[in-house]
Amino acid sequence: MTDPRSLEDRALDDPDAQRALLAQRAEQMTHPRLLSAELDRDDHARAALDLLDAIGVDPSSLGDVAGAHAALIARRLARDELAVGRARAAIALLERAERWQASGPIDALAEAKVDLAQAFELVGDATGASAAWTRAIELARQCAETETRAWLVHECARALARDARAVGDEASATELEAEADRADDDDITAQLIGLAPALAWFTAKWTDGEPPMLPAPEAWLSRSTGVVSNASEDPAVAESLRCARVFGTGLDFVCLCGALSGRDTAGAACEQCGVESMRAARTLCRIGHLPLPTKLLHPATLVAGPCGSMVALALDLSDERLAAVLEGRRCLRRAISAPRGADTLEPGSSELREYDEGRGDPSVVIASGEEAVIEAIEAIDAAGALAECEVERRALEGHRSAHTAAGRARIAALEARAKVLARLCEDGASAAWVSEVVPVWSAPWVARAPRAAQLRGAYVALVTECERLSGAWAVGEGDRGALRERVRALLACFD
C-alpha cells in the first residue's frame, strides 16, 4: 500500500524517502534557476532549510555549491527577518549560513558577518556585535574585488569607529575612519582610471612645445551611462544634469523609487524607475554625454601654441587668417585631391568671383566659416603634408636664409607643424579635433571640483544653449561662435 504522506513527511522516519528527498534538495540547491525562481524569498526556502535540519543533514554535505546556495537562502531570509524587526530569528539563520559556508568565498563570508553584526545590534548584544564587526573587517580587507572590499571595509570601519569613540578611544576611532575613507578613495580611483580620457578632453594643453593629445570620443563614450539634454537639476527628470538613470541616486544600493534596496541588489536596474542600485561613492565615477547641435572645433585646437594653433598649423595658415575664415571675413581655398594644406582668399577676389559664377577650378573648394575649416581638417592628407613639411624644412635649413630672423621663424613653424601633423596621423585624431559630444560629470563630482560654482554654472549655460539651438532649423556661424565660447568657458574651469 502506498504511503499517502508527502515525501517531506516520510523522510522523517523512512531512509529511502530521506535519500530521495536529499537528491531532490541537492538538485534544487545546485540549480541557479530553481534557486531564483522557487527557493528565493518564499516559504519553500524556509521549509527546505528546516527540513534539512530536521533530518540532521548539513547542506554542505550535498556539495560546495549546495552549501553556498543554502547559505545564500539563509542570508536572504535573515534580511527579510531584519526588515520586519525579528532580529533573533535573523541571527539564527545567519549563524546557520555561517556554518554551511565556512569555506566559501571571502566576500560572502564578510557580508554574512556584517548582517550578523547588524542583527546583534538590533537585539542590544554589544559584545556579539563587536566581535562580528571585528571579524567582518578582517575578512573584508581580504576581498579581491575593489567595490566589494570598499563597501565592506567602509561599513565595518565606520561601525568600529563609532564603538571606539563611545568608549573614549579617539585614536582608534580616527584611524578607522581614515581607513573607511581610504577604501572609498581606492574604489573611486580605480573607477576614474577608466574615465581618464574624458578628463583629458577637458585638460588638453600645449606643454613644452608639444601639441596636446586629444582623446577620440570612442575612448570615453563607451563609459558614458546616458545622454544629458536639459539643465534641470531634478533627479527624477530624464536626461537632466542630475538624472538618476544616468548618475544614480547618491544613496547606497537604493533605486529612485525604492523598489530595489539592499546590497544584494547591487548592479540591478529597477524595472519601474530604470535606476541602477549601486554604492553612493560610485556616483562620483559616472559620466553622461551631451550631444552638440552642430560640429565644433575643439577649443584646444584653436589655442595658440609656440608657433600658432593646432588647426592653423595643420592647414599651414596664420592664426590671423584662420580667425578671418572662421568669422567669414576670408575664404578658405583647398585642393580636393591630395590636400596638403590651404590658403585664403580675400572677399571680392577674381578667383572667388569665378568660383561663385561656376567658372572656377573644379579641383578646389572655396568656402568660409567653421564648417569649411572642419571639412578641411577632416579631408587633410596628414601623412603627405608631413612628408612635404620635412622636405621644406631640410631645404630651408641648408639655405643661407636659415640664419635670418624670418628663416628661423619659418623653420620653427615647420617643426611645430610637423608635430601637429604627426598627431593628426594618429588613429581617430581628426575625430577628436572635431567635437560632437561633451562629457558631463556627475553633480557630486562637480561639487568636489576646486571651482565647483563656476563649473556647475558653465554646464548649466552650455546645456541651456544646446537646448535653444537644438530647436532651431539651422545653426549659423554666429550661433557656432556663441556655442564654442560656452564650451571654452567649461574647459576653463579645469585650468
**Residue 102 is part of a domain; what is its CATH number?**
1.25.40.10
Residue 486 within a domain: no
- 176 in the same domain as 28: yes
Provide the pLDDT for residue 300: 92
Residue 478 within a domain: no
Residue 54 within a domain: yes
Q: Over 60: is that where the pLDDT of 44 sits?
A: no
Residue 35 within a domain: yes
- 189 in the same domain as 311: no
Residue 210: strand pairing partners: 207
Expressed as residue numbers, the domain containing 71 is 7-193
Mean pLDDT (the chain, rounded): 83
Q: 193, 226, 258 — which closes off a domain?
A: 193
**3-class state of residue 92 by DSSP:** helix
Q: What is the largest CA-CA distance in the chain?
A: 117
Residue 275 within a domain: no
Q: 417, 433, 449 — which closes off a domain?
A: 433
For 450, what's the count of Cα atoms within 13 Å in the CB-facing half-sphere? Answer: 4
pLDDT: is 443 or 84 the higher one? 443
- 164 in the same domain as 15: yes
- Lowest pLDDT segment from 204-208, 225-229, 274-278, 427-431: 427-431
Domains: count for the chain = 2
- 307 in the same domain as 185: no
- 169 in the same domain as 41: yes
Grade residue 475 by pLDDT with cuts at 50, 70 and 90: confident
- 313 in the same domain as 189: no
Residue 150 grid cell: 570598499
Place of cell 562629457: 439
Residue 335 within a domain: yes
Residue 328 within a domain: yes
Residue 59 within a domain: yes
- 186 in the same domain as 313: no
Q: Over 70: is that where the pLDDT of 67 sits?
A: no
Which residues 6+ apart lie within 8 Å of 115 measured at CB?
Answer: 75, 78, 79, 82, 90, 94
Q: 433, 467, 483 — which closes off a domain?
A: 433
Provide the pLDDT for residue 48: 60
